[in-house]
Structure 1
Amino acid sequence: MHRLPQGRKEARQGGRFMKLSRRGFIAGVSAGALAAGTARAGAHKRFRGYPGRMGLLHDTTLCVGCRSCEFACTEVNDLPPPTQPVGDTRVFEKTRGPSDKLYTVVNRYGGGAGGSPVVFRKHQCMHCNEPCCASVCFVKAFTKTPEGPVLYDPSVCVGCRYCVFACPYYALAYEYGNPATPRVVRCTMCYPRIIKGQVPACAEACPTGAIQYGPREKLILVARERMRKWPDKYYPELFGENEYGGTSWLTLLARPPEQLGLPADLPYDPLPNLTTNFLSMAPLVAAIFPGMLGGFHAFAKRKQKVAEEKMRQHEAELKRRHEQEIEKLERRYRSQLEALGEQARKEYERRLQAEQKAAAAGGGKEQQP
């Protein structure tokens, strides 16, 4: 039976996590910094989502990695079909993310040297109840609809890509083909289809029933019933029910989220709510920032001067030592040369004396009768 880690159990209080992980903190800081130009740092009420909104449930225990959802998505969005055909398992050799050519992708987890069972998970925009992409967009290009999807208006987008960086699920992509018409691309949850009463293309194409479409509240009940019936089969949390305020995409996990490429230990508060505390400091920061900047500049200049003075002293010391070493070498070579010269002089005198003695001895022999 899958069980929640002890740390996560203790972290629950009042229906949400009181502990904010490092990833959640960084995401909150990032979103707060990006939204500071437009958001108000007042009290932020929890938005529980539009009643009756729709959602999708992905059961990872039923997914076989056929990627029919990828092909259906490209077809309804007028995108070129995936380059790897159905059945080509080489596509799973690396983990992929959504792109401007594929709004949804299927990745494989496990099955390596450890022998863990293979699990497939679909990756796309999660369509959050309170989307962080909308909170950081200063031109209001994103809108959460009562039906469930988060919509994007490219006509007002300026291409800043704050939304791409702020998304905690790495589900947004950016088109680089035409810089004159910047556009963020992502799963639309097939909004043009669902407002006509149709099913999203990925759910319609799934041959195993791993993707189910319907009212979000009913999908949550379906997921809970499956977890109750088969506790050994599922991780005991429905991902997307509460994380960062909840999402329209729900995922029944066969393993802990971190083993399937999902962030773990996420708080239940929406990201825009987490940014409130950060944004409330904006006026104070704006007031003290000029003085702080001037102080940092003066400190940096003094630090640079001190460093330059130390460098000059170091160079002077090196030069002095170099000159001393040269002087020592010169004295040593001079002494050696003098010794060699003295030795050569003595050798010359010794040979000269020997030659003189030899010459004198030869002359004396010639005078004898």
Structure 2
Amino acid sequence: MNIDRRDFLKVALAGATTALTTGTAQARPPKELSPDAVGILYDATLCIGCKACEVGCKDANAMPMEADPALEQAEGVQGIWDASSDLDSRTLNKIKAYAQGTAAVKDRDHDGYSFIKRACMHCVDPDCVSACPVSALTKDPVTGIVGYNPDACIGCRYCQLACPFNIPKFEFDKPFPKIVKCEMCRHLQAEGGIPACCAACPTGASLFGRVSDLLQEGHRRLSFKPGERQEYPIHSLDSGDSRSAEVRGYYPRVYGETETGGTQYLLLAGVPFEDLGLPPLGPESSARLSETIQHTIYQGLAAPALLLGGLVYTVYRRTEDERHDDPASQADEEDRRHD
């Protein structure tokens, strides 16, 4: 019944050889942005806080109005309005207000104020899609839109925990709840339309287009000098409509160009993005990192599993050999056959 040292060393050597030949799992390559991926460029310097985008979004997506439609005025700031809530199961996009000090000047970091739009970022390599165990959240290979299938959802809410932007919301107040998030009005796009928030925006603060073109537009605006007047397209890049506005000055970065592997919802602002509640994220997608770690662990378990299997098989063979060599065991086997 006992396995001798030679047999154990043979099996151990076989397991070690397997581990060396298998190697460490390679890092998953980063996801690439589709050439036809669409997105939204939000320019906080053009936003006037009118919330027309919120109304348009609710109308287009049959979302209920807030239980309390009253708005709270931002404390100590005249003429700036801010909703009392953030994104929830009834709201897919939300305009929020940032204020610092006296909030005397728009789009200034010190003693200034700014608006910011909260909505799904439609990441190039989404954490929510990676975390979903049933593929209820998927990324369209052409448009790049992160869509949601309620029929596949099991309500685990892993997507909520995984999202670095805290976007997906759960309908806790419904008997048959689902996850709620912006899907960039993909039902309107399927009919040749554009997202409702962009169609409703009167200033061009929310602009629809191909992500590659929106990035070019974003960098074009970063080259503007404060005080000069420029033409800004409104609604969508290819609409042909535009309006003239005075440049207020930009914080020198397009948020979403590199953050967490890139996003299809891009932002420009006159103040640092961290002040507007956007997380400071590196260029590496955490979904790519987590999947690489998981694959490495699972692949690393192959060698120990093979080693254990080899040990079990060796003990079994050793037991069988000893039983056949033992006369008493053979006599018992003969008796069982005769019975």
Identify whether the pair has TM-score above 0.5, normalized to the shorter chain: yes
In structure 1, the residue matched to 2:267 is 251
Separation in 2, partners of 1:56, 1:81: 24
Separation in 2, partners of 1:206, 1:251: 15
Per-residue deviation, 1:77 = 1.1
Per-residue deviation, 1:82 = 3.8
Per-residue deviation, 1:156 = 1.1
Per-residue deviation, 1:71 = 0.8
Separation in 2, partners of 1:229, 1:93: 29
| Bigger Cα displacement from structure 2, 79-88 vs 63-72 | 79-88
| Conservation of the 8 A alpha-carbon contact between 2:28 and 2:292 | no
* Residue number among 110, 113, 131 corresponding to 1:118 in the alignment: 113
| Bigger Cα displacement from structure 2, 77-86 vs 150-159 | 77-86
1:239 counterpart SS class: coil
* Residue number among 157, 160, 179 corresponding to 1:161 in the alignment: 157
How many residues in Structure 1 have an aligned counterpart in Structure 2?
Answer: 247
* Residue number among 193, 197, 202 corresponding to 2:192 in the alignment: 197
In structure 1, the residue matched to 2:258 is 242
Q: How is 1:43-82 mapped onto 2 (pairs within 5 angstroms)?
A: 43-82=27-66
| Conservation of the 8 A alpha-carbon contact between 1:56 and 1:249 | yes
| 1:174 has 2:170 as partner | yes
| Conservation of the 8 A alpha-carbon contact between 2:45 and 2:270 | yes
In structure 2, the residue matched to 1:101 is 90
Closer, same or farther: CA 273–205 of 1 in aligned 2, 3 Å:
same
Per-residue deviation, 1:199 = 1.2
1:238 counterpart SS class: coil
Separation in 1, partners of 2:207, 2:289: 31
Structure 1 unpaired stretches of 5+: 1-39, 289-369
Q: Deviations over 1:287-342 (max 9, x none)?
A: 99xxxxxxxxxxxxxxxxxxxxxxxxxxxxxxxxxxxxxxxxxxxxxxxxxxxxxx
Closer, same or farther: CA 86–240 of 1 in aligned 2, 3 Å:
farther
Separation in 2, partners of 1:255, 1:47: 30
Structure 2 unpaired stretches of 5+: 1-23, 75-79, 105-110, 227-247, 305-339
| Conservation of the 8 A alpha-carbon contact between 2:27 and 2:292 | no
1:177 counterpart SS class: coil
TM-score by length of 2: 0.67
1:143 counterpart SS class: strand
Q: How is 1:1-369 mapped onto 2 (pairs within 5 angstroms)?
A: 42-82=26-66, 89=73, 92=81, 96-113=85-102, 116-145=111-140, 146-179=142-175, 181-230=176-225, 233-264=249-280, 266-279=281-294, 280-281=296-297
Q: Deviations over 1:238-291 (max 9, x none)?
A: 001111111110001211111011012x11122221214532235668999xxx
For the aligned residues, what is the CA RMSD?
2.6
Closer, same or farther: CA 222–206 of 1 in aligned 2, 3 Å:
same
Per-residue deviation, 1:95 = 6.5
Separation in 2, partners of 1:166, 1:148: 19
TM-score by length of 1: 0.62
| Conservation of the 8 A alpha-carbon contact between 1:142 and 1:150 | yes
Closer, same or farther: CA 151–119 of 1 in aligned 2, 3 Å:
same
| Conservation of the 8 A alpha-carbon contact between 1:132 and 1:271 | yes
In structure 1, the residue matched to 2:244 is none
Q: Which has the higher helix share?
A: 1
Separation in 2, partners of 1:154, 1:110: 38
The one-letter amino acid of 2:287's match is P
Bigger CA radius of gyration:
1
Closer, same or farther: CA 72–286 of 1 in aligned 2, 3 Å:
farther
1:281 counterpart SS class: helix
In structure 2, the residue matched to 1:343 is none
Per-residue deviation, 1:43 = 2.9
| Conservation of the 8 A alpha-carbon contact between 2:102 and 2:112 | no
| Bigger Cα displacement from structure 2, 213-222 vs 170-179 | 170-179
Q: Which has the higher strand share?
A: 2
| Conservation of the 8 A alpha-carbon contact between 1:42 and 1:276 | no
Per-residue deviation, 1:137 = 0.7
| Conservation of the 8 A alpha-carbon contact between 2:250 and 2:270 | yes
1:251 counterpart SS class: strand
Closer, same or farther: CA 78–127 of 1 in aligned 2, 3 Å:
same
Separation in 2, partners of 1:95, 1:48: 37
